[in-house]
A = this chain, B = another copy of it.
Amino acid sequence: MKIGRQTHRASAISTSNEAAILVRGHDLCEELVGRISFTDHVWLLVTGELPSEAQRRVLDAVLVAIAEHGLVPSVQAARMTLAAAPEALQGAVAAGLLGCGSVILGASEDAGRLLHETVTRAESNKSMRAAASEIVGEYRAAQRAIPGYGHPLHKDYDPRARRLLAVASEVGARGRYTEAAQAIALVLPEITGKPLAMNVSAAIPATLLDAGYPLLALRGAPLLARTASLIAHLLEERTRPIGFVLSHAGAAAIDYDGRKPEGFVASDQ
């Protein structure tokens, strides 16, 4: 059974023969290993071109900013998974990444689309602020949340967002996407009646898109960064395990409110 398109049959990422492995046209061993950083390589893999100094520094800053944020759900899922299945580190990393979805880390791509739409409209004879105001109004009318603004802990500002924008300025990589992100921050209080600070999920696409990183690969950056964090947590889990403490505490926080025979007393979970 043939499902889907079958006409395109090529890939442009790498090839090899007995003498060499080519990655994006470069001889892996001769030109890349030992000569470029992992961040350069990520940029090369994703875009097909080696980054400029500014591009690499922006991507480094983003990956460092979002790798680790404590015992978030995806880290807990990974640590409980390793406790129960220690034979498969890759399974625990995978379980952790599966929680990097639309609610938590996935907001970067949604915010990137919002910024992209804002920049696109501002290109056609409209100020950035007018474009931002128009789009935020449309989101509100459709009762959609504005991705990348507001944070449960950091009410005033998200320090990672502020720092990412500062790094982009330092390396000279600020541009239209950051302008759009700031325009949205300005119009939000006018339209929603409350300040909603830009959070890291808007600062990531603003700085990466300004640097030339592709919109469609935005969700990859948090996944890569989170993989580093998961590896650190899973090494700790191997040496100082807390996976079953986490699951016991979770279970103890939940009551059973279903049917039960009269007089049934549940044991301590």
Question: Could you say which residues of chain B place their CB within 8 Å of the CB of A234?
Answer: 220
With A4-B244, A13-B258 given, can you name 14 additional A-B contacts, CB distance below 8 Å? A1-B152, A2-B248, A4-B241, A4-B243, A12-B258, A21-B68, A22-B259, A33-B167, A38-B225, A73-B243, A88-B90, A88-B98, A90-B99, A94-B98
Question: Can you name the residue of chain B whose Cβ is closest to the Cβ of A251?
Answer: B71
Task: Report how many copies the assembly holds.
Answer: 4
Interface size on A, residues (CB 8 A): 138
Question: Can you name the residue of chain B whose Cβ is closest to the Cβ of A167?
Answer: B34
A159–B232 CA distance with the chains assembled, in angstroms: 29
- Which parts of A1-24 form the interface with B (CB within 8 Å)? 1-6, 8-24
Q: Mark A249-269, 1 if CB is under 8 A from B, else 0.
A: 111111111111100111101
Instruction: Decide if A199 is an interface residue (CB 8 Å cutoff).
Output: no
B254 engages A10 (CB within 8 Å)? yes
> Could you say which of A127-135, A175-183, A190-198, A211-219 contacts chain B?
A211-219
8 Å CB contact of A13 from B9, B232, B241, B243: B232
B68 engages A14 (CB within 8 Å)? yes
A129–B2 CA distance with the chains assembled, in angstroms: 33
A27–B54 CA distance with the chains assembled, in angstroms: 23
A91 CB, min distance to chain B CBs, angstroms? 4
A86–B204 CA distance with the chains assembled, in angstroms: 22
A6–B268 CA distance with the chains assembled, in angstroms: 15
